[in-house]
Structure 1
Amino acid sequence: MLVIFMGVYVGHHFYVRYQQAQIIKKEQNAKRLFIQAIAPEAQAMQSKYHVYASITMAQAILESDWGSSKLAADYHNLFGIKGEGANSKVLSTKEYTNGKWVVIKGRFRVYDSWAESIKDHTQLMVKGTAYNEQNYQAVIDATNYQEAARALQKAGYATDPDYAAKLINVIKTYQLDRYDQ
């Protein structure tokens, strides 16, 4: 009886490990496909405006959870870019305020495609904000992706105090700097 139980246990253990491996493989494939989907437009924008493709891609990954967030999946907004008017939607978002994460409602732009979202993100870098047209100039002037990531954080792109470190980590982990060539 013990031998049968052990056999069932061992068989179940291997089956669970097999399922876990399949899930990991699926997730890795989804990440690879997401990178392939956004890389051409990110590279085109880098070529035209000198916003590093790796930075654009890392931001898209972090801001949209690999394109799976509701904002990215339903409204093609990869970067959490806020907007007003008929071409926007109100959604919940997390912001880091007064030393803690809080959930707020925000109005976000709606796009027809991820490529359109990437183009608009690049224009934000190039044209700056309503309060400062030069707000992201240091991102454009950066000589490497690490410098660009720190410039984004310094310019206040995101409320996350670890934003630059997270961008750099994503770029290193997925070797996104190879798209900067």
Structure 2
Amino acid sequence: HINLSGLNTKFYIQAADNASKGKLQVNWKYLAAIDGVRYKNDFSKATNSNTNELAAMFLEKNSTSNKVRNSNYRLVDLDVVLEKLSFDKKQKERVYTYIEDLKYTGTLKNNLNNVSTQQFIQELYPEAAEIYNKYGVLPSVTISQAILESGWGKSELSTKANNLFGIKADTSWKGKKIKMNTSEYYNQKIVDEFRVYNSKQESIRDYGEFLKNNKRYKQSGVFQATHYIDQANAIEKAGYSTVENSKGQQIYSELVIDIIQEQNLQLLDFQCEMNYNKNSQ
């Protein structure tokens, strides 16, 4: 099995993200599993340059008309990379075993084998994938915001109104409304009206529409962003949330990114982009 105690997950998440920025999402578990095999589980042998080189092997220029949304890249299949690395049958099998070993590993100390959190993520994923196909908002960002805004679906607003994103009922909203307390600024409480939905799925659909219909999201680069870090920053820049820390610094994108890395939500982006490739071939 993979040497989990010697594995620095953040190192691999970062290597995958460095390669993915402005392109498509590389799967960090593939990098960790391959290094585990080629360095015989001695992760101290992994260097920045070797791992960055490996990550780059999972992306290639795409000059065909089958694009993943508007990306000029496509993701390379794991088996193709293993062939290029001249791995034999045993090594390939070990890579797949190691990937399975990493099933519940993220940046959190405890593993991700929590039934209720995994169920929540899986429940939202199909609709989040639709929002990606339709608008280009990454599933990792959609689901992370839902987790953050609704406290894993346990907030009063989400249990009473299925409102996962804290979207307010402005004048454009013709549906049902609910009055709630809000605490956007450090230690300040305000009462506001929020949108009511029939289901979590409807809440996700409306979130996609909300971003699309508010010009400021396009202007801040939300829809140009092809990577979760860039997209989370663009959403903060557009003023989605004014949440601040005690020093008055905006911390919304940081919170969104932390949840993505803790829960491996960027691997949902990878999944979506791989499927997008397959669906269009």
1:33 equivalent in structure 2: 119
Aligned position for 1:127: 213
TM-score normalised by length of structure 2: 0.51
**What does 1:134-173 correspond to in 2, within 5 Å?**
134-137=215-218, 138-160=221-243, 161-173=250-262
Asked if structure 2 preserves the Cα contact closer than 8 Å seen for 1:125 and 1:140, the reply is no
Q: CA deviation at 1:57?
A: 0.3
The Cα offsets for residues 66-108 of structure 1, whole Å up to 9 and x where unpaired, read as 0000111111000000005661000111111xxx331111100
Residue 105 of structure 2 corresponds to which residue in structure 1?
A: none
Check if 1:45 corresponds to 2:134. Answer: no
Q: Does 1:80 align with 2:80?
A: no
CA distance in 2, matches of 1:90, 1:102: 17
**For residues 155 and 69 of structure 1, what CA distance do their matches in structure 2 show?**
24
Select the structure that is richer in helix: 1
Deviation at 1:168, TM superposition (A): 0.5
Match of 1:111 in 2: 197
- d(CA) in 2 for partners of 1:47, 1:143: 12
Q: Is the 2:175–2:196 Cα contact (8 Å) retained in structure 1? A: no
Q: 8 Å contact 2:175–2:195 — kept in the other structure?
A: no
* TM-score normalised by the chain length of structure 1: 0.78
Q: CA RMSD in A?
A: 1.7
Identity %: 38
Structure 1 residue runs of 5 or longer lacking an equivalent are 1-23, 129-133
- The structure in which a higher percent of residues are strand is 1
User: Matches of 2:129 and 2:266 in 1, distance apart?
Assistant: 11
1:87-133 Cα distance to aligned partner (Å, 9 max, x none) = 1000111111xxx33111110000000010000000011111xxxxx
